[in-house]
Amino acid sequence: MSTNKVAVISLGTKNYEKGRLRLTQTLSVVDNYAGDFFILENESECDSPSHRRNPYAFKIYAFEKVREMGYNQILWLDCSVYAIKSITPIFDKMSEDGYICQEAGHFVGTWTNDRTLIYFGLSRDDAMDMMMYGNAGFLGLDFNTEIANEFFNRWKQSMLDGMFIGDWNNNRHQESPDSRCMGHRHDMSCGSIIRHQLGMKLQSGNDYLQYVLDGPKVPNNDTVCLYAQGIG
């Protein structure tokens, strides 16, 4: 990792200030993390269109902004995530594979609207066999590699083509008349399809990021270095 310029990026508006501060504080005290971190407070800091206009497009623009600053290994963490120990193993895994993402436990067909499936040339049946990556709040790309650049370029183009746009729920069948569709997950829907098309493997759930509730917290395994928890 020492030969790379590494960064953690996130974005949290004033409604997410508590999580933004928690992430900043835990990264500050984590041992062995030799990189930088950039916690943005609004979309304008990365020249992104508004979240209302193009949901989660700010992730694309944040990656690009930090790349332009010379960083080549970049890890996106949502403000619901915080570090519990060194995150160096995550960057080591990115160096090994060119990326890191973790399985979600649900399927693209459940959380992707019709127009996005058509855009990618998929049927609903195809998508029901496709695992989503778990929470686009945890995604790392090593831009030294061809696979990371190809993924990012396709992901960005899908955003520019409007495929991040869609309703969270399909309760009025506005995203699909198919009852198997429960809503659209924007950047995560597109990214999961692209991951599958490129043959990018998923880490098992809780390999590095573990979802936790209030109360005592025990890592599921020795590789867990991040917790995801609500910030209410």
- Taking only the tens place, the pLDDT of each residue in 204-215 is 888 999 988 866
Q: For residue 73, tell me if it sits in a domain.
A: yes
Indicate which CATH number applies to the domain containing 186. Answer: 3.90.550.10
Taking only the tens place, the pLDDT of each residue in 147-195 is 999 999 999 999 999 999 999 999 999 999 999 999 999 999 999 999 9
Q: Sheet of 73-77: strands edge to edge?
A: 36-40, 6-11, 73-77, 138-142, 99-100
pLDDT(24) > 70: yes
- Taking residue 88's Cβ as centre, other Cβ atoms within 10 Å add up to 17
In whole angstroms, give the CA distance from residue 1 to residue 38.
Answer: 18
Question: If you average pLDDT over every residue of the chain, what do you get?
Answer: 93
Residue 15: predicted pLDDT: 84
pLDDT for residue 136: 58
Average pLDDT estimate for 54-65: 97
Two structure tokens written together for 15: 């409604």
The alpha helices in the chain, defined as continuous H runs, are 17-29, 57-68, 88-97, 114-119, 124-127, 146-160, 186-198
CA distance 180 to 96: 36
Residues in Cβ contact with 75 at an 8 Å cutoff, skipping those fewer than 6 apart: 6, 7, 8, 9, 87, 90, 91, 94, 100, 138, 139, 140
**How large a percentage of the chain has pLDDT more than 70?**
96
Whether 78 maps to a domain, the answer reads: yes
What residues make up the domain containing 155? 6-228
- pLDDT, position 189: 97
Q: Does some domain include residue 178?
A: yes
In a domain, 1, yes or no: no
C-beta separation of 225 from 210 below 8 A: no
2 has pLDDT over 60: no
Q: What is the pLDDT of residue 135?
A: 63
Q: What is the pLDDT of residue 216?
A: 66
Q: Specify whether the CB–CB gap between 158 and 20 falls below 8 A.
A: no
The values of phi and psi at residue 200, to 5°, are: -75, 130
| Cβ–Cβ under 8 Å, residues 34 and 7 | no
Question: What is the mean pLDDT of the segment spanning 69-96?
Answer: 95
Q: Which residue has the tokens 């960057």?
A: 91
Q: How many domains does the chain have?
A: 1
The string of pLDDT tens digits covering residues 106-143 is 999 999 999 999 999 999 999 999 999 976 589 999 99
Residue 170 placed within a domain: yes
Q: Name residue, tokens 């692209």.
A: 194
Residues in CB range of 10: below 8 A, 6 or more apart: 20, 23, 37, 38, 39, 40, 76, 77, 78, 79, 81
Mean pLDDT calculated for residue range 221-226: 91
Distance CA 151, CA 97 (A): 13
How much of the chain, in percent, has pLDDT values that exceed 90?
A: 80
Of 16-25, 41-50, 181-190, the range with the lowest mean pLDDT is 16-25
178 and 117 Cβ atoms separated by less than 8 Å: no
